[in-house]
Amino acid sequence: MSSKVTPATRAAEAAGIPFRVLEYEYDGDAEAIGLQAAEALGMDPALVFKTLVAVLDGGEMVCAAIPSPARLNLKALANAAGAKRAEMAPPAKAERATGYVVGGISPFGQKKRLRCFLDASAEAHAHIVVNGGRRGLQLLVAPADAARALGATVAALST
């Protein structure tokens, strides 16, 4: 495995939040990256959050962290962001904005810090796992610490 230091780990350290780095063997052929990560880590998929990038009707790009098995409710995201509509960002646009590749997009340490939204289900857990900024690297964090460090809005975003 390559280095455990990424812009995401540096951003979490700079924010002063406790976190633990988890590594696993990334499978580029997996149908659902977050579910594959949960299985490889031996964790409940509801604890492994995927980071999705969306575009609001005004053109603003935002990120949403939701449980891996869930689907993003774009209407709920738009409402939480104070917009009328949201749609998924094309992968290339998400990669350019965040500085990460799909499968390694973290809510932490993005090239252009996107406004972040965290699914409210995170609050039911002592810890959640979010991408660590590289395929095969995850960060175990307390949801309240993640929300504070990211300036995230916590809202019901998933179905």
Asked if residue 108 is part of any domain, the answer here is: yes
Asked if residue 2 is part of any domain, the answer here is: no
pLDDT tens-place string over residues 99-147: 999 999 999 999 999 999 999 999 999 999 999 999 999 999 999 999 9
Strand order in the sheet with 137-141: 19-23, 137-141, 128-134
Instruction: Please give the residue that has the higher pLDDT: either 27 or 82.
Output: 82
Asked if residue 31 is part of any domain, the answer here is: yes
For residue 2, pLDDT beyond 70: no
Q: Which tokens belong to 73?
A: 């409710």
Asked if residue 30 is part of any domain, the answer here is: yes
In this structure, what CATH number is given to the domain that contains residue 82? 3.90.960.10
CB atoms inside a 10 Å sphere around CB 96:
14
Contact 33, 24 (CB under 8 A): no
Tally the domains of the chain: 1
Asked if residue 62 is part of any domain, the answer here is: yes
Our measurement of the distance from residue 30's CA atom to the centroid of its chain's CA atoms, rounded to an integer in Å, reads 18
Strand 153-155 to strand 115-119: parallel, antiparallel, or no bridges (unpaired)?
parallel
Asked if residue 83 is part of any domain, the answer here is: yes
For residue 1, pLDDT beyond 80: no
pLDDT tens-place string over residues 29-87: 888 888 999 999 999 999 999 999 999 999 999 999 999 999 999 999 999 999 999 99
Owning domain of residue 149: 7-155
Asked if residue 114 is part of any domain, the answer here is: yes
Asked if residue 1 is part of any domain, the answer here is: no
CB atoms inside a 10 Å sphere around CB 123:
12
What is the pLDDT, as a whole number, of residue 4? 85
What is the pLDDT, as a whole number, of residue 110? 97
Give the dihedral sign, CA 123/68/42/103: negative
**For the chain, how long is the longest CA-to-CA vector?**
42
Contact 108, 145 (CB under 8 A): no
